[in-house]
Amino acid sequence: MSKKSLSLLSGADAIVFLMDCTEVTPEDQMLCEKLRAYTDKTILAVNKIDDYTREDLIWNYFSFGFQRVVGLSSAHGLGIDSLEDALLGLLDLDDVEDEEAKELEEEENKNALKLAVLGKPNTGKSTLSNLLTGEELSIVSPIAGTTRDVVKGGFSYKGREFEILDTAGIRRKAKVEEDVEYYSVNRAIKTIDEAHVVLLVIDSSEGLAEQDKKIANLIVRRGKGVVIVMNKTDLLSGMANEQQALEDRVRFLFPILNFAPIEFISAKNAVNIGGLLDTVMKVDRQLSKRVDTATLNNALSQWGEDYQPPRGATGHFKVYYGTQISAQPVKFLFFVNRKKDFPAVYVQYLKNCIRKDLGFSLVPVEVDLRERERSTSNHMLGQSAKVRSAEERETVRPKQVKIQKTGGKAKATPKAKKVGAKAKAKAKEQARSTYNAKKSSAGTGGRSGARAAAKQSKGGR
């Protein structure tokens, strides 16, 4: 038996060792020894059991020490079922199916849009979660603090899979022991980390609370999508502009969430649930969006023209170019001339422009700055460097003029440059010949002489 055949044994899921019921050869015995290490996955098939008179011979083969022994006649097609059964038992295909189902589920979960439901106790988080999943996964009750741990469920909407994480309401510090508060905030952070989009549920009839601000901060810092869900609208009086007044109040008290969409719903009466989910999907699309560097830098040059970065103590701040470094969270990096004291107001301006012009109106946008090293050429900074902002083009242009200066006049024409080069070459040549002449007459060389000659020739022009 070749080495290759033997090496295949270890990688095989099952081995069928075929023997002849009429004889056992020395090669069979040798192979038996080799297969001893694989008895748990070997089936010993005793061939040539062509009729019932030979069936008793099978028993002799149990002495080889294999647990699975089947008799068959490959010539007559007998015993093939037994071999098949033995193989199926060995391969444990049920397990494979389970495994595949598990992998499929995990894959689906990976693609599922993860929604965390957060907010104060009693705002209706569990009512909303149960409504969406269509199951009573969480207990709903008027007692604040009913949900104690994260409850997970799933549902689909418009062909998209969702996973929902119903959480324990975050309570006010004064009402609970320190460690419970610590525990629930920690839990909230963990859930926010797991989620793509957070539903911040607020009881419309009660309004905002300090805890909501705390959660809002956590969400924004982590760059997650958020939808402000004003629940229990059925309890509102129905006065004209009531919802608008509530929205204005939220905007006033939550400037940090100025980008977050607000949806008014009633979880109890299933009002505007479709609208809420449509908004969630819109937020998710923006969170996953990527803008290519050329588009960003074309926009950046326009933003720079509209509003130049302000002057600092040592001159103008400049933004050379930028690039989107990640989606989910949405992060941009801009290269600037000076990072120290770079005006926060201009960073905010860039964020607003990104939101307004590049399609990130509903999600948190993070902007990082990096100082571009002076010695680094655009070429070395990669593709994005090719697209320069108007600002940068302005800073480069005077430099080019300077290079082309000849004498006291700036002649920014290629011709002027050529003349200068010729004159230089001529001066060099003259200097060399003066130097050689001096050297041969005085017998001593001197660089100063050559330099003086060059100077002279320059002065004579």
Q: Which of 48, 68, 114, 232 binds ligand GTP (CB under 6 A)?
A: 232
Smallest separation (angstroms) from ligand GTP to the CB of 132? 12
Which one-letter amino acid corresponds to residue 75? A
Query: For residue 394, what are the contacts with CB-CB under 8 A and spacing of at least 6?
Result: none
- Per-residue contact string for residues 142-161; x = within reach of Mg ion by CB under 5 A: ----xx--------------
Compare residues 147 and 457 and give the one whose CB is closer to Mg ion. 147
Q: What span, in angstroms and rounded, lies between the C-alpha atoms of 139 and 343?
A: 50
C-beta closer to Mg ion: residue 72 or 168: 168
Q: Can you tell me which of 216, 220, 267, 365 binds ligand GTP, judged by CB under 6 A?
A: 267
Per-residue binder mask for Mg ion (CB under 5 A), 66-105, x = binder: ----------------------------------------
The residue range among 6-14, 263-271, 286-294, 388-396 that interacts with ligand GTP, by the rule CB under 6 A, is 263-271
Measured from the CB of residue 116, what is the shortest distance to ligand GTP in angstroms? 13
- 43, 83, 120, 126: which one binds Mg ion (CB under 5 A): 126
Q: Which is nearer to ligand GTP, 44 or 151 (CB)?
A: 151
In contact, 63 and 88? CB cutoff 8 Å: no
Minimal distance in Å, beta carbon 168 to Mg ion? Answer: 7
* Binding window for ligand GTP (CB under 6 A); candidates: 125-133, 173-181, 222-230, 253-261: 125-133
Q: Which of residues 104-123 bind ligand GTP (CB under 6 A)?
A: 121-123
Q: Is 276 in the site for ligand GTP (CB under 6 A)?
A: no
The residue count for binding ligand GTP (CB under 6 A) is 23
Assess 235 for contact with ligand GTP (CB under 6 A). Answer: yes
Residue 207 lies near ligand GTP (rule: CB under 6 A):
no
Residue 378 CB: number of other CB atoms within 10 A? 16
Rounded least distance, CB 126 to Mg ion, Å? 3
Give least dist CB 124 to ligand GTP, A: 3
Please report whether residue 268 would count as binding ligand GTP according to CB under 6 A: yes
Among 29, 141, 383, 433, interactor with ligand GTP by CB under 6 A = 141
Residue 204 interacting with ligand GTP (CB under 6 A) = no
Which amino acid makes up residue 23? E
Q: Establish if 124 lies at the interface with ligand GTP (CB under 6 A).
A: yes
State the greatest distance between any 2 C-alpha atoms of the chain, in Å, as a whole number. 125
Interaction between residue 140 and ligand GTP (CB under 6 A) = yes
- Considering only 42, 191, 266, 323, the residue that binds ligand GTP (CB under 6 A) is 266
What distance in Å separates the CA atoms of residue 363 and residue 387, rounded to the nearest whole number? 26
Token digits of residue 88: 């199926």
What pairing do the DSSP bridges indicate for beta strands 330-336 and 319-326? antiparallel
Stretch near ligand GTP under the rule CB under 6 A, chosen from 77-85, 229-237, 401-409, 439-447: 229-237
Q: Using the rule CB under 6 A, is 286 a contact of ligand GTP?
A: no
Confirm or reject binding of residue 208 to ligand GTP (CB under 6 A).
Answer: no
Q: Which of 231, 286, 384, 389 binds ligand GTP (CB under 6 A)?
A: 231
Residues at the interface with Mg ion (CB under 5 A) = 125-126, 146-147
Residues at the interface with ligand GTP (CB under 6 A) = 121-127, 140-142, 144-147, 168-169, 231-232, 234-235, 266-268
